[in-house]
Structure 1
Amino acid sequence: MSSISDIIERYLIKIINEAPAGTVQVKRSELADLFQCVPSQINYVISTRFTVEKGYIVESKRGGGGYIRIRKVRISSFKAYYDALLRMIGSQITQAAAEDLIARLREEDLMTDREAKMIRQLISREVLNLPVHLRDPIRARVMRAVVMTLFASKGE
């Protein structure tokens, strides 16, 4: 059985994919009414499931006329996407952010399910059994190598 968070996420992804520009603007309170939940549940779903690592940009305005605008990022070129990914990874990356990035690469068919599973294992806390101040930079180096290899193999 799906959780309310899964249901809200699927709904938002569906309307984003149906939107011609890949952008939707919604009201927190209207979504909360639609799904019969508290507005903080909507905030939770948006803040955890619509991240930059997953390929979304979220803007919000609070107050009476407030809204949440969610946009699926579309990169204009393969090179721009590659550069954006390397910037996103930076010099250190958390396990959660790296896993989101892996999911995005998989969703965009830049890696197979098997590759994604292997890389998730390689960047896990269990494998990188080091203090955080070492683990996140090493994870970033692994993820940068993964991105460079994936893009090099695409020949562009």
Structure 2
Amino acid sequence: MITKAITNCLQNAAIKGWAKTYWAFDIHGTMLYPTFQSGVLSTKFYPHVKEVMQLLSKRSDIVLILYTCSYPHEIVEYLKYFEGHGIHFEYVNENPDVCAGAYGHYDRKFYFNILFEDKAGFDPLTDWKLVYDLLLAQKLQPKNTDHT
């Protein structure tokens, strides 16, 4: 379950003294309802997505990575759309912060700690609320903000 993964991730970060963790987010069927139409951008958020993503965007210890198969011109539009809602992604389909290290070689597969992806079992109709509740219950609000 996603909440267990998040709890484990943040506990490991605290124990190991990591300054940052990396969270990857799919768009279609995860953050936004899919349109199932070529050339038509999704713009309808699932419930609680904006609240969760806005909280996470304000944290300096969590790096948001957009994980998408969208076309390059669509990615530009999606990044603008998310920015307009106070959601800030550091990277798209990459994590240049972590390359090769003690735990793996990340030249062809980028490193992340948490994956929000409907095809990996994330249920956007129920899981966003669970994540939101976890963030509030554990007081996982922003430590400080890099974005205005």
Q: TM-score range by the shorter chain?
A: under 0.3
Higher RCO (C-alpha 8 Å, min separation 6)? 2
Whichever structure has more helix as a proportion of its residues is 1
TM-score (norm. length: structure 2): 0.25
